[in-house]
Structure 1
């Protein structure tokens, strides 16, 4: 892989696009629209954003935190949505803030710090956005000198090889001090892959090694990373993919990597014409949902399967049934990409039409016949998580944030554990006035799959506070066994992890 060729291609295209955008972009009025609707729509407090770090603050606790949960619950997400009166045009554009809920015998303490990326520092120094973002080309934007010049480190977080890393889609991982949340600089896996995309959903398998990927849209490249458990051994590879799609997540099995490619395809000419990175993607349903399967030991030997056209952000898990010669997979399927391309833009102006109606889907890939089958489950949901001990292994239980009766606002109002074998659901509904974020499994050592705890956050609109809830993972419907109230509003975010003390 020639990193210099990747950088030259990125700079050449982006430089042309931003030059035209500077000449064409009118003054931004999105902040005024958002402010005009803010008072009448309380749910907008979750998308208002912050201007400063969140100092350490203790939560008001009810119930008892199990000692097995003493440690840190880290969350990441876009948190600075406006600067200098200019508002970003997509939820994914905001600067990342890493949050830590530190759980211990004395209770829970929360803090949050913006990731000091190159982009964050440049925009802060200028007092307004001067670097392009996923869905925004700001007026008088600076030229792009590298992919990491746009890195907002706002999507996810992983702990691997003794390092805590804030993750984005289009550039490097960012090293974070696990105690203070201070930014320690970019992570370089190998010299040849310096600055190459390292995506936000790495998978850590049973052997402790990490697999991840990156999408280089301009060059049509899918890059693969395999990192040893101690973080020192790194294997990389890249392959050309025709009509490369917007790919956010993937799955691993014992022997394969699995990618779902929705027909939201990058169009180089649109970017050359000055469109944002988001607007440079075209919905081409005639391509269907392509499924790429790569053997771990033969990354140059791809196999392709086909599913009906649809859009996907997140995959729960995948595993192989060697006896039947199939791969089983679950993911969240939307009928199209409207929510990603338009709905999440509308939120930044305070507009809401309808929520994403992503449904849980079960997929069977027959490795012998080359055929794929799909079944939809009756759960409007997102953020699927499985017991982390069983990534790439046979699983039966998936945890999701579910939309049951959320009313005229976006997001989710329940956390649900779905049994994929029986279809049964164990659910706790927070209520219409609570916006539920991603929850995750924290397993009990030595216990069967899904036995342990569920840990997650939610925004209580009436109390203007964040809730940190702990459930018995097998009895969600009974409600939290412990819950903390953080008396301040934090921007709604994306993904998190738990790291034991």
Structure 2
């Protein structure tokens, strides 16, 4: 049997399994109450971060910048996140379930123009017509779900966004990338990289290599299939390769990390007992070790080295580097395993709940001896790490991420910081008591090769004034505060991840 036919047959079986017990199981309906959430919102205005949008589209809205941008700063910040949580008296209970809305913040001529559009997936369009949720969800049991043909029938396209070869893609965990028009944000449809790979998972955290190509994965095992699907996409947005890597046991992963030579996958063990949706049915297993899979980029069709390391739960990674036969991976380690399964669950119900920040941990992989261990840095209260991709590959990078600082009216981030784990140096800007700060994307200064020479751009929610905004900071002078800020006359819920597309010179 030729290689492509083998891959097609293997993935076909995995797809059928994915549409079986994990997604189509029925059960008792467990969901939030829109009236209960509305009552909570009146008492706690910060819950606007988990409030449904008021319309399918926003803008274009142009607002003036407060402050001044550098002359060489130009482009668009794209953001994605769940935004549609309620229908017909039924509210999702899991933050990850909301249908995706992509935002575009375009900078130019001393102003910023904002657009927001719901991603018009088959799921969203079908439920708009029906007036109710009728599709299996990741974290909420939905009553009387319709039959679905493949993963894209349930795809929410709600987690991240990326541009490759000038094309814009909205991403989630369990299905295809959905292509959007980069200017108007209109949905063009799901992307099929090759006919035999239709509707297979293309995760929300692809990584750009130094040669301009992109790596990504699809978690077949957590959907009822077997293995890990490894994607390699060229800088021109065409498929270079797709391979299935064998996993020794089912493991959950949301993201991965790379060095100049290797890809590293941390698989968190879990048990699965059908009890509704996927997250309702799965339980992380801290009594078991995590499997770590290391793949050589020069041989992406096989695992180069496997490790076992003490259990941890992590959604997001910072950087990774290699030196003297050791790979060091930086990740955001979540201490509360139950909360990790459903982040900000209380907020989705309209209740006050604890913050869910992570701690920075370093995973050390001895490639020569096969040993693995965790080192804790003592740095906590963080999430959504970013770094300068130009950083050298043989030492750690500075990390940029939101954090909590001082008095705050919400159990969410209200500041942004730079942390240098090697030296312990930290620089911070606090936005204020009533400002919720989201992920801040690093933007290299055009024409510069010096690491950390660039800017941060991040989105904000001012719940006291019910408005969303954006800020740009000098990455080397975060403590000085924003170079420029802009506020919209409306607000929308918190998102997850973004990507900055720099304008052509």
Q: Please state which band the TM-score falls in when normalised by the shorter chain.
A: over 0.9
With 371-380 and 30-39 compared, the bigger mean Cα shift is at 371-380
Of 140, 149, 152, the match for 1:136: 140
Deviation at 1:51, TM superposition (A): 3.9
Flag the 1:180–1:57 CA change in 2: closer, same or farther, 3 A: same
Deviation at 1:45, TM superposition (A): 0.9
Calculate the aligned-residue CA RMSD, in Å: 1.8
Flag the 1:16–1:359 CA change in 2: closer, same or farther, 3 A: closer
8 Å contact from structure 1 (residues 327, 366) kept in 2: yes
Flag the 1:478–1:12 CA change in 2: closer, same or farther, 3 A: closer
Q: Which residue of 2 aligns with 1:365?
A: 365
Structure 2 residue 124 is the aligned partner of structure 1 residue 120? yes
Q: Which residue of 2 aligns with 1:11?
A: 19
**SS of equivalent residue, structure 1 residue 153:** coil
Of 238, 248, 252, the match for 1:242: 248
- Please give the alpha-carbon distance, in whole angstroms, between the structure 2 residues aligned to 1:206 and 1:460: 37
User: Residue deviations 1:23-63, cap 9 Å, x none?
Assistant: x327x552222122110011111111114211211224211
Q: Which residue of 2 aligns with 1:151?
A: 155
Size of the aligned set, in residue pairs, is 489
Structure 2 residue 180 is the aligned partner of structure 1 residue 179? no
Match runs of 1:137-286 below 5 Å: 137-216=141-220, 217=222, 218-263=224-269, 265-267=270-272, 270-271=273-274, 274-286=275-287
- Please give the alpha-carbon distance, in whole angstroms, between the structure 2 residues aligned to 1:350 and 1:48: 9
8 Å contact from structure 1 (residues 67, 105) kept in 2: no
8 Å contact from structure 2 (residues 78, 498) kept in 1: yes
Deviation at 1:481, TM superposition (A): 1.1
**SS of equivalent residue, structure 1 residue 33:** helix
8 Å contact from structure 2 (residues 23, 277) kept in 1: no
Deviation at 1:426, TM superposition (A): 0.9
Flag the 1:63–1:143 CA change in 2: closer, same or farther, 3 A: same
Q: Which residue of 2 aligns with 1:103?
A: 107
Flag the 1:194–1:342 CA change in 2: closer, same or farther, 3 A: closer
Deviation at 1:14, TM superposition (A): 5.0
Q: Give the unaligned 5+ runs of structure 2.
A: 1-6
- Please give the alpha-carbon distance, in whole angstroms, between the structure 2 residues aligned to 1:47 and 1:391: 38
Deviation at 1:406, TM superposition (A): 5.6
**SS of equivalent residue, structure 2 residue 25:** helix
User: Residue deviations 1:193-252, cap 9 Å, x none?
Assistant: 111100000000111110000101201321000112212242010123133222001011
Deviation at 1:280, TM superposition (A): 2.1
User: Residue deviations 1:408-466, cap 9 Å, x none?
Assistant: 63321110111122110011011221111000111113141111111111111222212
Q: Which residue of 2 aligns with 1:383?
A: 384
- Please give the alpha-carbon distance, in whole angstroms, between the structure 1 residues aligned to 2:347 and 2:249: 29
Flag the 1:453–1:12 CA change in 2: closer, same or farther, 3 A: closer
**SS of equivalent residue, structure 2 residue 341:** helix
Q: Which residue of 1 aligns with 2:415?
A: 414
- Please give the alpha-carbon distance, in whole angstroms, between the structure 1 residues aligned to 2:394 and 2:233: 19
Q: Which residue of 2 aligns with 1:347?
A: 347
8 Å contact from structure 1 (residues 206, 390) kept in 2: no
Deviation at 1:345, TM superposition (A): 2.5
- Please give the alpha-carbon distance, in whole angstroms, between the structure 2 residues aligned to 1:289 and 1:438: 27
- Please give the alpha-carbon distance, in whole angstroms, between the structure 1 residues aligned to 2:259 and 2:466: 42
Q: Which residue of 2 aligns with 1:46?
A: 49
**SS of equivalent residue, structure 1 residue 262:** strand
8 Å contact from structure 2 (residues 410, 434) kept in 1: no
Deviation at 1:407, TM superposition (A): 4.1
User: Residue deviations 1:87-129, cap 9 Å, x none?
Assistant: 1111110010000011001410111000000100011110111
Deviation at 1:16, TM superposition (A): 5.4
- Please give the alpha-carbon distance, in whole angstroms, between the structure 2 residues aligned to 1:406 and 1:144: 47
TM-score, normalised via structure 1 length: 0.93
Deviation at 1:313, TM superposition (A): 0.5
Deviation at 1:393, TM superposition (A): 6.3
Flag the 1:406–1:311 CA change in 2: closer, same or farther, 3 A: farther
- Please give the alpha-carbon distance, in whole angstroms, between the structure 1 residues aligned to 2:236 and 2:359: 37
Flag the 1:102–1:357 CA change in 2: closer, same or farther, 3 A: closer
Q: Which residue of 2 aligns with 1:398?
A: 399
Deviation at 1:15, TM superposition (A): 7.0
TM-score, normalised via structure 2 length: 0.93
User: Residue deviations 1:139-167, cap 9 Å, x none?
Assistant: 11112221111100000011112211000
- Please give the alpha-carbon distance, in whole angstroms, between the structure 2 residues aligned to 1:385 and 1:266: 31
Q: Give the unaligned 5+ runs of structure 1.
A: none
8 Å contact from structure 1 (residues 318, 330) kept in 2: yes
